[in-house]
Every structure is written in structure tokens, then in C-alpha cells.
């Protein structure tokens, strides 16, 4: 059984979206991972197929009903595979590479895509949903957030990425230090009056590695002091 993703959404046509292309798309067609969608509206019980209602306590917007979402979750989990339910929400834990690696190690994922003001809190709690945010900004719906999370997961699945080493060397890689990646250069060696750093043309692998490490550390220190301060001497994150 390949890694299996199910998206609960009011807009199934948004999937696989960008993931139908390039390496992820090819891997999907080759069955290295699988994706299906459930239309949340199919689980509404009234003739208007209502999925939302006004918020208790007043205020703007609409809230997605817990009973309808619960029925959609039950359908998604009916195959018995212990896939985590992940609700995409700006209130969630920020997505990072550690969470991506954890999700990839399991059998797959069920992604809950909110719309309107989001889900009734009770179904989040009753279903033990993990709440995940893709950043400190507000999207109009959970679908683009779900695609971001899926993209990050799928590229780590066995056989999806061509050059396995690039996943190991890049920013936030599993084996190395939690550093931003060093800068990249390709031909021409001089462009627009700008030369490629000499060391990269030297053919001296140890010096190239040392230079890259220094650049990665400098970028992390300058751009992401939060990451830098969480490093332990061994290079692992401290939490
Ligand atoms: N009222 C919500 C709030 O202020 O937290 C925002 C609701 S947003 C308009 C609609 C849906 O988009 C959310 O239920 C969630 O599924 C999704 N969404 C918006 N921003 C997101 C983010 N940064 N990360 C993950 N999902 C997000």
C-alpha cells in the first residue's frame, strides 16, 4: 500500500493541482503515492446540502458544521488505516520539516480543508485533529495549505525525487545541521559582471564543503536567528 492522502474539501477540483505535475505528478501516476478527495457537501443531510451556519455568540462569517464534517471524517477513515487527521488552520502548529518527516513515516494523511471562518471547535476536539498552519497569514481556504503540506511530504517518499542526495543536503535536512542552504551557482562562470566565487571553480572538494558550510551558517545566523539560537553544538535542534 503506497502512502495515501485524502483531502476533505468543498473544492475537490483543486486537487491534485500543482501535484499533478513534475516529479510529484509522475510519482502519483506511477502509484508511488495516492490521492483522493471527498466532497464535504456530500455529507450534508438537508436538501440544500448545507455545510455551514452562523456563529454562536454573533460575529461575521459562517462556521462549518461539526456533524457534517464528522461524517466526512468517518468516511475518510473507514478504510481502517491509522492515518492522522490534519486540519489546516492559521491557529495550528507551524509546519516544519520535522513534522513533514513524521507524517511521511506513517501510512498517509487525511487533510481537512476549512473555508469560511473555519470548523466548529467540537469536531476538532472530538476527532483529535492535528492543527497545522503553513504560516502567519490568512488564506481564503485550506486547499492551498494542504497542497503545500502534501508537496513537502511527497517529495520525501522513496523513489519520488531523482537525486536522493539533494534532499539530504538542502535546508532543514534530516541528517545535517538545521541550517538554511548555501547559495547556488551555475554557468556562465561570469555573468553581468558578477563572478562565481573562486572556491567553487577550484575543484577542491574539502574547501568547497567548508565554504558551503560557512555560507549556510552565515545565512542562518543573519536571516533566521530563531533557528540559529535553537542549535545545539552537535547541530541538532534542541527541542
Ligand atoms: N477565521 C480564521 C482565522 O482567523 O484563524 C481564518 C479562516 S480562513 C478565511 C479559511 C480557512 O483557510 C481556514 O479554516 C483554514 O482551513 C485555511 N487557512 C487559512 N490560513 C491558513 C494558514 N495560514 N495555514 C493553514 N490553513 C489556513
Q: Is 93 in the pocket of ligand 1 (CB under 6 A)?
A: no
Q: 214 C-alpha to center of ligand 1: Å?
A: 38
d(CA 152, CA 168): 14
Q: Is 63 in the pocket of ligand 1 (CB under 6 A)?
A: no
Domain 3-154 fold is Alpha/beta knot (3.40.1280)
pLDDT, position 239: 42
The atom number, within ligand 1, closest to the CA of 140 reads 9
- Flag whether 20 is marked binding: no
- Flag whether 67 is marked binding: no
Q: 115 C-alpha to center of ligand 1: Å?
A: 7
Which residues, in sequence order, are CB contacts of 99 under 8 Å at separation 6+? Answer: 93, 132
Mutate to test the pocket of ligand 1, among 124, 135, 139 (most ligand atoms within 8 A of CB): 139
Q: What is the pLDDT of residues 99-120, one digit of tens each?
A: 999 999 999 999 999 999 999 9
Q: Is 113 in the pocket of ligand 1 (CB under 6 A)?
A: yes
The answer to whether 114 touches 82, Cβ cutoff 8 Å, is no
- Express as a percent the part of the chain with pLDDT over 90: 88
- Flag whether 138 is marked binding: yes
ipTM of the complex: 0.99
- Flag whether 137 is marked binding: yes
| Top CATH class, 164-229 | mainly alpha
- Closest-CA residue, ligand 1 atom 23, reads 90
Angle of helix 97-104 relative to helix 142-154, nearest 10 degrees, comes to 70
- Domain residues of the chain, as ranges? 3-154, 164-229
- The whole-model pTM stands at 0.93
The atom number, within ligand 1, closest to the CA of 95 reads 24
Q: What is the pLDDT of residues 38-56, one digit of tens each?
A: 999 999 999 999 999 999 9
d(CA 200, CA 203): 7
Asked if residue 206 has pLDDT above 80, the reply is yes
Average pLDDT of the chain to the nearest whole number: 93
Asked if residue 125 has pLDDT above 50, the reply is yes
Q: Is 178 in the pocket of ligand 1 (CB under 6 A)?
A: no
- Closest-CA residue, ligand 1 atom 21, reads 90
Which three-class secondary structure state does DSSP give residue 72?
helix
Q: What is the pLDDT of residues 177-198, one digit of tens each?
A: 589 999 999 999 999 999 999 9
How many other CB atoms sit within 10 Å of the CB of residue 165? 9
Strand partners, 54: none
Q: 135 C-alpha to center of ligand 1: Å?
A: 10
Amino acid at each position: 500500500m503506497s502512502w495515501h492522502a485524502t483531502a476533505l474539501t468543498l473544492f475537490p477540483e483543486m486537487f491534485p493541482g500543482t501535484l499533478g505535475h513534475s516529479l510529484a505528478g509522475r510519482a502519483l501516476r506511477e502509484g508511488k503515492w495516492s490521492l483522493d478527495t471527498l466532497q464535504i457537501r456530500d455529507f450534508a443531510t438537508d436538501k440544500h446540502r448545507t455545510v455551514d451556519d452562523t456563529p454562536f455568540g454573533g460575529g461575521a462569517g459562517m462556521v462549518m458544521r461539526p456533524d457534517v464534517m464528522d461524517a466526512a471524517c468517518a468516511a475518510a477513515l473507514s478504510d481502517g488505516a491509522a492515518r492522522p487527521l490534519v486540519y489546516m488552520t492559521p491557529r495550528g502548529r507551524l509546519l516544519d520539516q520535522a513534522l513533514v518527516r513524521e507524517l511521511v513515516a506513517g501510512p498517509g494523511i487525511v487533510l481537512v480543508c476549512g473555508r469560511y471562518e473555519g470548523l466548529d471547535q467540537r469536531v476538532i476536539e472530538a476527532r483529535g485533529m492535528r492543527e497545522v498552519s503553513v504560516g502567519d497569514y490568512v488564506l481564503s481556504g485550506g486547499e492551498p495549505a494542504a497542497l503545500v503540506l502534501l508537496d513537502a511530504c511527497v517529495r520525501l517518499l522513496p523513489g519520488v525525487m531523482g537525486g536522493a542526495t539533494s534532499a539530504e543536503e538542502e535546508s532543514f535536512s534530516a541528517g545535517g545541521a538545521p541550517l538554511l542552504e548555501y547559495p547556488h551557482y551555475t554557468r556562465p562562470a561570469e555573468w553581468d559582471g558578477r563572478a562565481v566565487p573562486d572556491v567553487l571553480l577550484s575543484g577542491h572538494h574539502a574547501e568547497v564543503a567548508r565554504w558551503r558550510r560557512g555560507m549556510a551558517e552565515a545565512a542562518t545566523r543573519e536571516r533566521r536567528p530563531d533557528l540559529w539560537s535553537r542549535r545545539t553544538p552537535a547541530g541538532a535542534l534542541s527541542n
